[in-house]
Structure formats: C-alpha cells, structure tokens
Amino acid sequence: MEWFGNKNPQLLKAGGTLCDILTEQNEIVAKNMIVGDIEIVTVLVILLFLIPVVWNIYKTEIFKKFSITRLIKILNKSLIIQVFIVIFLILVNWAWNKANFKFENIIAGTLYTYLVVGIFMYLPSLGILNLIKFILQKRAKTEAELSKKN
C-alpha cells in the first residue's frame, strides 16, 4: 500500500494526496497570518512611526543646525511617544475585542505590524545609532583630554 500517493484510501477520502492536503492547510494558515486590509494597515503604521519623529523635528528645528547626535536625540524622544502609541493601540484593541466592533481587523493588524516593525526593525536600528553616538562621544572626549595634555 502506498502511503503518500493516490492509492491510499484514507487520503482519497480526505480529499486527495497527502501533498494536496498539506498544501491546502498551509494556504489556510498563510491566509490567517496575513493582515486584512494590508494597504490601510501599512499607511497607518508608517504614519504612527513618522508623526512623532516629524513633530520632534519641527519642535527642535534640526534643519537650522543639523547633526547626527541631535537626530539620535530626536529619535530617542520620539521613541517615548511611540511607546505611548503602542499602549494606546493595545487598550483600543482590547476594548474592540470586548465590544466586537467591525474594524477589529484593522486595529489588530495595525497593532501587530507596529509591534513587529518596532521591535525587530526600529529598536535595533536605534540601539545601533545610540551605540555609535556613545562611541563617537567617548572618542571625542579622549581626544579632547589628549589635546589638553599636549
């Protein structure tokens, strides 16, 4: 008896070969993992990341005297606002789940995408920038001390 081919009677009763059944199940899982209304969710996530940064840039007027350290400070200040946005989205998502509103998919997708992008892309990038800033400041400090001694 062939277990993985068309001759297995249990597989024929289930609707086809083992490969067909596994493919259908994987497609179902993939459809459930993809956020619905991905265009709206993408625009919302981009706006939720950019609005705090643009607001802090406008507030500090970085373009008059641009420096990388000022930009990193702006991103650090923006991170605080973005954490509050995540907390707000979690609370809204929780309330929407309790009330069974229709826009639950958009809010849940925005929260999920915002968290994934923030944790796996934004935080590591900001951490690397802060590390570079720390190294540059330490190097400048040691060079200033060496120039004072000479």
Give me the residue spans of the domains in the chain. 1-33, 36-149
In the block, which residue shows the tokens 């200033």? Answer: 144
**Confidence grade of residue 2 (pLDDT, cut at 50, 70, 90):** very low
Tens digit of each residue's pLDDT (9 = 90 or more) over 12-22 = 565 555 555 45
**Confidence grade of residue 116 (pLDDT, cut at 50, 70, 90):** very high
- Give the N- to C-terminal CA distance of the chain in Å, as an integer: 88
Cα–Cα dist 81/49, whole Å: 9
Tens digit of each residue's pLDDT (9 = 90 or more) over 3-47 = 455 555 655 565 555 555 455 555 554 455 567 678 899 999 999
**How big is the chain by its Cα radius of gyration, in Å?**
25
Q: For residue 76, is pLDDT > 60?
A: yes
- pLDDT, position 91: 92
**Confidence grade of residue 1 (pLDDT, cut at 50, 70, 90):** very low
For residue 132, how many C-alpha atoms fall within 13 Å in the half-sphere facing its CB? 11
